[in-house]
Amino acid sequence: MVRRAFMVAMLVVLGGTAGGRAQAPAKQAAGEPKTTWFFYTVKWGGQDEFMDLFQRNHYPILKAMEKAGVYLSVKTYVPENHGDGRADWTFAVELVEPATRRASAPSEEEIVAKLYPDRAKLQKEEERRFELLLAHWDVPLNRIDLDTRKPTR
């Protein structure tokens, strides 16, 4: 009897998921800038060193890319409190790319070569910056225009 009840429950669960539609990611609204959030979780005690290294080595690259039109904006964030939202990040970067990239924009490699002639020093400091991390993940976002979106039901 217990086995039969278990089998019926499993069929309901499996049948419900198999019959349902898979949820596809929403598409980016046409012609919209592309926003990506980059989250970092820094090891305890390493936040200041991480931010110093980021500010000295990576931020100038991002700002040069913004100036060149690769990004519309570059913003950085830290949570106000330890328990805000997902409390597992300690530093975030928001990059907004234009809907279409300028053909004349320099590559990241060209910008790095211009800003950092001492590539060995940059490499060493970037390695140290990543040694300070517990985690890092990227979240590309698709903006949804709910004013023009057609409901599915």
Distance in angstroms (rounded) separating the CA atoms of residues 1 and 11: 15
**pLDDT tens digits in sequence order for the chain, 153 residues long:** 545 544 444 444 444 444 455 566 667 767 889 999 999 999 999 999 999 999 999 999 999 999 999 999 999 999 887 665 666 899 999 999 998 877 888 999 999 999 999 999 999 999 999 999 999 999 999 888 888 888 888
**Please, what are the domains in the chain?**
35-99+108-141 (3.30.70.100)
pTM, rounded to two decimals: 0.77
How far is residue 48 from each of residues 30, 39, 78, measured CA to CA in Å? 39, 16, 12
